[in-house]
Chain A
Amino acid sequence: MNARLTPRITVAISSVLAALTGLACGSTPAPRELLDARSAYLRAQDGPATQLKPDGLHEAKVALDRAEKSYSDDPGAEKTRDLSYVAERKAELADVQARDAKSAMEKAQAEKDLAQVTQSQLSQARQQLSSADQQLSGAQQALATEHTARKDAEKRAHDAMDRLAAASAGNIKQESRGTVITIPGSVLFASGKTALLPTAQTKLGAVADALKDQTDHKITIEGHTDSQGSDASNMELSRGRAQTVKDYLVSRGVPADNIKSEGLGSSRPVADNKSTEGRANNRRVEIIVEPLESK
């Protein structure tokens, strides 16, 4: 506060002293223009001009000195008022030019800051773009891998179906529940037995080879009998035969988790049980390869 008030106090004291001196000497007091010029110079000296516009401040001092000399030489001269007016403007000029220089420095700093911020944001955007590119590339690669895997699976399924068709000698058909391979009971088992005939192993072996690559498919083995005998014995016989076929397929490499067996007895005949041929057709094992579940 003292530092800011000092010039004002100085000016006030100077003005009073000048007035008193004038009165004491009986001379003309300093004109208002000269008092204003002195104040303006002190204000400029107290502002940024000292640091940022010292040449302008010097010019203001020279102008003020000239006005002071004129007042000293001829206190009442019109010229003194003119020179004081000019000195006041020079002091203000130095102050305004110093403020201009200060604003110019702030402007330069802001330009520098803006360039840095812009550069920083540009780098960040580039980094994000690069990251997004990498993610896209990864996703495309994963998609391509999945596509290849699906193609391979489809090819394996196609090949397996071909092998199954060959192994089952034409007893294969497509139904809504999947691909159904029907093997006559007489080919696999002796009458009333659940143990496989030696010849059956060759036929089932070919089926097992075709199925063991079908890891994506669920497989169900169904045992069926004709209607002769009690339902309970037929159910037990069909269940035992289905289990035997399942065990054999598993022993030949078909994944156990994918395969199940069930006995249905005489409940689902495919032919008339009154004829010998019809009963032979009803005694069968069906291997159902279920379709792939849609993902």
Chain B
Amino acid sequence: MKGLQWALVLGSVGAAACAGAPPPHEREASSAAAIRSAEEVGAERIPQAALHLKLAHEQFDKGKALMSDGDNSRADYVLLRAQADAELALAFARENKTRTDAQTLIERVRTTRGGQPLQAPTGNPPTSQNSVQ
């Protein structure tokens, strides 16, 4: 009898663990918002940004699929990956625009000065160091 009681207690604890985390709707929403932001600034037109936007989309879809399967804990982390990639895509797109604007302005200054040399831009084009899975 005592053994049966222990079995019931352990069973209920295991059941509680399996019931696990609730669906990560908040993470899903924040990931979706990050993807939209990257798309709005034209991330798909800039190669490095486009790569991370694509990864974000793939992982977002994977996260939703995991939620459908009830694996909410794993879905939360996959959606976190999606959000990180979307934020990086947005940053690449913004940096590209700022750098292009700066170079255009510097060229205008050089032209307006009549070919006189101007202080060269110190920014180098960013290079992606990330590994892609």
- B101: chain A residues at CB < 8 Å are 103, 107
Output the nearest chain B residue to A85 by Cβ-Cβ distance: B81
The answer to the question of A78 belonging to the interface, with a C-beta cut-off of 8 Å to chain B, is yes
Complex contact A110–B129 (CB within 8 A) = no
- A92: chain B residues at CB < 8 Å are 88, 128-130
Number of chain A interface residues as a range: 35 or more
- A103: chain B residues at CB < 8 Å are 95, 98-99, 101-102, 123
The answer to the question of A121 belonging to the interface, with a C-beta cut-off of 8 Å to chain B, is yes
Q: How many residues of B contact A (CB 8 A)?
A: 36
| Bound CA–CA A73/B51 (angstroms) | 32
Complex contact A106–B122 (CB within 8 A) = yes
Complex contact B112–A88 (CB within 8 A) = no
How many whole Å from B28's CB to the nearest CB in chain A? 15
How many whole Å from B35's CB to the nearest CB in chain A? 14
The answer to the question of A218 belonging to the interface, with a C-beta cut-off of 8 Å to chain B, is no
- B94: chain A residues at CB < 8 Å are 100
The answer to the question of B84 belonging to the interface, with a C-beta cut-off of 8 Å to chain A, is yes
Most buried by B among A83, A85, A102, A114: A85
User: Could you say which of B84, B92, B102 contacts A86, with CB atoms under 8 Å apart?
Assistant: B84
Output the nearest chain A residue to B92 by Cβ-Cβ distance: A96
| Bound CA–CA A155/B126 (angstroms) | 85
User: Could you say which of A32, A36, A89, A113 contacts B85, with CB atoms under 8 Å apart?
Assistant: A89
The answer to the question of B43 belonging to the interface, with a C-beta cut-off of 8 Å to chain A, is no
The answer to the question of A127 belonging to the interface, with a C-beta cut-off of 8 Å to chain B, is no
> Taking beta carbons and an 8 Å cutoff, which residues of B are in contact with A?
52, 74, 77-78, 80-81, 84-85, 87-88, 91-92, 94-95, 98-99, 101-102, 105-106, 108-109, 112-113, 118-119, 121-124, 126, 128-131, 133
> Taking beta carbons and an 8 Å cutoff, which residues of A are in contact with B?
32-33, 36, 39-40, 43, 78-79, 82-83, 85-86, 88-90, 92-93, 95-97, 99-100, 102-104, 106-107, 109-111, 113-114, 117-118, 121
